[in-house]
Each structure stands twice: as structure tokens, then as C-alpha cells.
Structure 1
Amino acid sequence: MKRLLITGGAGAIGRVMRKRLSGIADVIRLADVVALTPEHDGEECVQCDLADASAVQAMVADCDGILHLGGISVERPFDEILHANIIGMYNLYEAARAHGHPRILFASSNHTVGFYPQTQRLRADEPLRPDGLYGVSKGYGELLARLYFDKFGQETASVRIGSCTREPVDYRMLSSWLSYEDFATLTERVFKVPVLGCPVIWGVSANPASWWDNSNVGWLGWQPKDSAENWRTAIEAQGIPPANHPLVTKQGGLFTELAIMRNERSV
């Protein structure tokens, strides 16, 4: 690629991917609602509020691919999620439609299915069971991606990220963990395959305890290498949660018990 756009470039995953994916394109364009500074000649930075349609149009211009990490990544009041994850997602897809349909990797979330029990292994085509407004917004993003593929041919990989961190840190992550390296190699495959379509992919490393089945995307040629099992002994030494705790009962973990947050204006 000539230019890869990474939205959410100031976030935890964005900061890692700007370095790990530096060789995937001639130029990495980093965007976020906060200001960023290029670290070398192969980077350029854009400050952009995803809810600003004209700013998003300029952000997407001249890009061959988009790694969409931007938006709200935790449970928040509806107004915040509306602007960043719903209006922002629409603006991104309208900009992609106006600028030649650059292929998109959309960072969806396991919280689209958070109310499934951990005893159930899921395919990507199971009905959504979001565990909060954040999960609802990611389900909306997946539907929007599907609409723009069917109507306009816009290719998107909706990757339902589990827990993308440097290493797993709690009992639930023994199943949900996605290493930075495995996410990077998945991103590379998404942008390298000749034909992508609009698949939903579980973003999870090779954890034996995983609840998610990626057999439907074997054609992608992605094989995660890391495993949370390497941390099991240390995590279990901290104590295994009680049998009725959401960390061991629900796939969404603690998100399933969070209250719906009210907008500040209604408090």
C-alpha cells in the first residue's frame, strides 16, 4: 500500500500498531481526536473528530487501507458513544465510498456477544448478544460494514477483538487474550489477501481455552502464534474467581454487570 490510515493512533493499540505496521505501507497516516506528532519520515498525523464529516473526508483522502481503531473503547454514556462510534462510523464509510473504497479493518469487539455463557463456543454467525451500549455500537458497525459491502462493494474485515494487551492479566483473558503480534499479523493478512469480502473474524490468539471458532476464515491464511496458557500458572496463583463471578460465567466478563450510564445533561 502507498498509505495506510490508522485511526485511534493515540490509543494503546494504535501506539503499538504504528510501530509494528510501519513496513506495510509507504506512509502511515495516524489520526486521533488528540494531536499526534510524526516520529519519522514515513508517518503523517491528522487531528480529527470522527463526528465531523468534513474532517473525516479529508482524513480518508488518498488512503489505500484503513485500520479503524478510533472511537470509544469502553462503556460510556450514550451521547459519547453516539458521536464517536455511530455517527463517526457512518462518516468513515461515507468517506471511504467517496475516496475509492479503501479496504477497512474495523476493530469490532467481543462485547457484541458478551452475554453468551463461557461454556458456549461461538461461530461468527451467532446472533448478537451485546453486554452494553458499547457492544451495541460495535454491532451497529458490523451491520454498517455489511450494508456498504452489499450495496457498494466496500470490503471490510470486522475483527471482534478479545483482550488485546501486552500479556493476559486476569482469569478471563486466558480465553479472550489477543497478543499485539497476533493482531499485527492478522492486520497484514487482511490487507494482503486478493479478495476479502466482508468477514467477521474473532480477534483472539491461539488460546486453548478460547470460546471462539475462526474456522470460517481459514482461507485468510492467518495462524495466531501466541497463547495465554503461558500465563495460566501466574494468573491462577492470584486466585480463581468464584463460580458465579462474571469473569468465569459470561464471555463479556464485568461488562455484563455495568449499569447503563446516563448522559451528563440528564443527570
Structure 2
Amino acid sequence: MGCVLITGASGRIGGYLRTRLREPGRTLRLLDTAPAEAAAAGEDVEIMTGSVTDAAVLAEACAEADAVIHLAGHPREHTWREILTVNVDGTRTVLEAARRCGVPRVILASSGHVVGFRENEGILPADSSPRPDTYYGFGKAVLESLGSLYHSRFGMDVICVRIGACFPDVGNAHGMQLWLSPDDAGRLFEACLTAPEPGYRIVWGVSANTRGRCSPREAAELGYRAADDSERFAGTVPADDDSASAYLGGTLFVTTELGVPMR
């Protein structure tokens, strides 16, 4: 895998992957609206500044790339217009640029909020049909559908990673179920880059959590072997923490563009 384009590379997860996807002979091309930090000694990176809503920028960014990891977009709930413009149209711009440039593989950062209103019972398969809990979750459901379209119509390998909660620690009881450690994020995206002929896949982006509610099977089929477990943080979560609700998305109070609370 000679050149990997990472969109949204200056974000939190982009930062985790920048240090964990380094391989001899691999160039990481880092694209974001905010310029990434300059290359460290011995680091093989190309830094680009621009938006995924700009087709010309994406055409340049995808040129001669071997794979795209698409992380860019609003990372949480936003207005309807912004979700459509950046998260939906931006994803289509990335996929179309990749198609035109002949990039054979695209890895799309999806989210557990695609199925946020699924009841939090049992183990949920990675390809469970959408039950989004926010405009953000809706946008990620469309992202997955666009990935399916570009695979089926144009033959691209597309892997959608439904990321749970990717942070250095769990934060709350909800995170105990959905945690993805930064190190496991590196392992997962490396598996997505190197799995032979994956076709179209939806996989969960979570660690090997004892209290997990997400199926590990689909990601394991790509060669992902999680090494971390949120149970290490069990003693830090207050006993009265009620963030893990009846729904996979947790206890949600987000705001629409009209300022009306919605669960």
C-alpha cells in the first residue's frame, strides 16, 4: 500500500492513525481544512489543505493514491444543512474523486449512531439496518449507502467502519460498551487497508470489550485482532452513571437547527 490518503487527518482519530499506520514504503497523504503538523524526522507524509466539499482538491488528493481513509466531516450532531453539505455531499465527492482516479479501495468512517435507536440488548451484527438517532447518524447511514453503490456499480472495495467511541479512555458507562482504543483503531484500519479483496463490508470499530454489544466477527474476518478491553477502566466509572441507556446510542440530547431537543 504505497500511498494512503487520509481525509480529516488533523482530527482526533486522524492523529491516532497518523502515528499507527506508518509502514516502510508507505506515504500518508494528510488532507484537512486545518493544516496538519509538519512531518517529524523520518516520517513519510504529504500535507494538503482543503475541504472534502471541493472536487478539485479531492481530484488532486486522490491522484496516484492506493487507498483512501475518509474521516472528514462534522464529528457530532449539526444542522441539517451542514450534515448534508459536509457529511453527505462531501462523502460523495470523495468517492467520485477516488473512482475517477482509479483508487481501488476506500475506507469510510461510519458511526454507531447509524443504529443508535437499536435496543441495547444482545450482540448487534455490524450490518444491522439503520436506526439513526441524530442527523449525524442519518448522514453516516447515507455514507454507508453511497459506499455500497460505488462498490456495486464501479467495483471499488469499500469498507464502512461503524466506530463506537474512540478515545484514550471510556469516559462513562456507555463507553464501556463501545470503546475503541487508539491502538486498536490502528490495528483495525491496518486490517482494512491490507485485507485481500474485501468487496463491500460493514464492520464494527470497537475493542475486545467484556461488556461489548457489537459483533466482533465481521472485523475479525478482515484480519483485525483487538488487543484492548474497556474493563481496565471499570473502577473509574461511577456506580450511578446512567449513560448506558436502553438504546445503543446511549442517553442522547442533541439539538436540531431549530433548537428543538430530540432524543
TM-score range, shorter chain: over 0.9
Distance in structure 2 (CA, Å) of the matches to 1:181 and 1:37: 20
SS at match of 2:35: coil
Alignment correspondent of 1:240: 240
Q: Which residue of 2 aligns with 1:21?
A: 21
Structure 2, unpaired ranges of 5+: none
Find the counterpart in structure 1 of residue 155 from structure 2: 153
1:78-117 paired onto structure 2 within 5 Å: 78-117=80-119
How far off its partner does 1:101 sit? 2.6
Does 1:10 pair with 2:10? yes
User: Map of 1:127-142 to 2, 5 A cutoff?
Assistant: 127-142=129-144
Q: Which position in structure 1 is the counterpart of 2:203? A: 201
**What is aligned with 2:249?**
252
Letter in 1 for 2:256: I
What percentage of aligned pairs have identical amino acids?
32
Cα deviation code 1:6-56 (max 9, x no counterpart)? 111111111121111122652111000122243135111111111111111
In the TM superposition, what is the alpha-carbon distance from 1:165 to its structure 2 partner?
Answer: 0.4
TM-score for the superposition, normalised by structure 1: 0.91
CA deviations on 1:177-216 (whole Å, 9 max, x unpaired) are 0001111111111111221111100001000111111324
Match of 1:221 in 2: 223
Q: 1:241 and 1:204 mapped to 2: Cα distance?
A: 21
Give, in whole Å, the separation in 2 of the partners of 1:43 and 1:101: 18
Identify, as 1 or 2, the structure richer in helix. 1
Q: Give distance in 1, aligned partners of 2:63 and 2:258.
A: 36
What CA RMSD, in Å, does the superposition of the two structures yield over aligned residues? 1.6
Cα deviations across residues 79-124 of structure 1 (Å, max 9, x unaligned)?
Answer: 2111211111010011011111331111100000001122242112
Corresponding residue for residue 62 of structure 1: 64
Aligned-residue offset at 1:261: 2.6
- Residue 153 to residue 168, structure 1, CA distance change in 2 (3 Å): same
Q: Which runs of 5+ in 1 are unaligned?
A: none
Q: Which moved more, 1:16-25 or 1:100-109?
A: 16-25
Residue 91 to residue 24, structure 1, CA distance change in 2 (3 Å) = farther
Find runs of 4+ consecutive structure 1 residues off by over 4 angstroms.
none
SS in 2 for 1:31: strand
Q: Provide the aligned length of Structure 1 versus Structure 2.
A: 257
